């Protein structure tokens, strides 16, 4: 079955495997957008949790100087201890946002 651009399949008799539809599976590519869950509901919940965290991360972009809220108008600068520093393309002001969720953690 396909769910939110992930394919979920039965893995043996007691697990479900999910992987992103663009997952290439090559060991040297670093593409690890897949996982396992005990139930179908848990697989969907893991995918949903990732998307919720990603939405929260993307909505945290807001320039305190010019008010720009569009994530596409920011450029990554560096990672610091409490998040990532991005620069607003409109006014060049830097802002700190949380660290982008990693699909491997779900």
45-103 pLDDT tens trace: 988 988 888 888 888 888 889 989 888 999 999 999 888 999 999 999 999 988 887 77
Q: What's the domain range around 27?
A: 2-105
pTM here is 0.70
DSSP 21-88: TT----TTT----EEEESSHHHHHHHHHHHHHHHHHHHHT---TTT----GGGEEEEEEETTEEEEEE
pLDDT at 88: 94
Higher per-residue confidence, 38 vs 104 = 38
Domain count, the chain: 1
């Amino acid at each position: 079955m396909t769910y939110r651009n992930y394919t979920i399949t039965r893995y043996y008799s007691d697990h479900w495997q999910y992987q992103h539809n663009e997952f290439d599976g090559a060991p040297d590519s670093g593409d690890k957008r897949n996982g396992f869950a005990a139930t179908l509901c848990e697989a969907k919940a893991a995918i949903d949790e990732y998307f919720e965290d990603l939405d929260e991360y993307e909505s945290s972009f807001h320039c305190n100087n010019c008010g720009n809220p569009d994530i596409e108008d920011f450029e990554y600068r560096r990672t610091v201890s409490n998040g990532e520093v991005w620069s607003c393309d409109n006014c060049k002001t830097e802002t700190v946002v949380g660290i982008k969720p990693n699909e491997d953690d779900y």
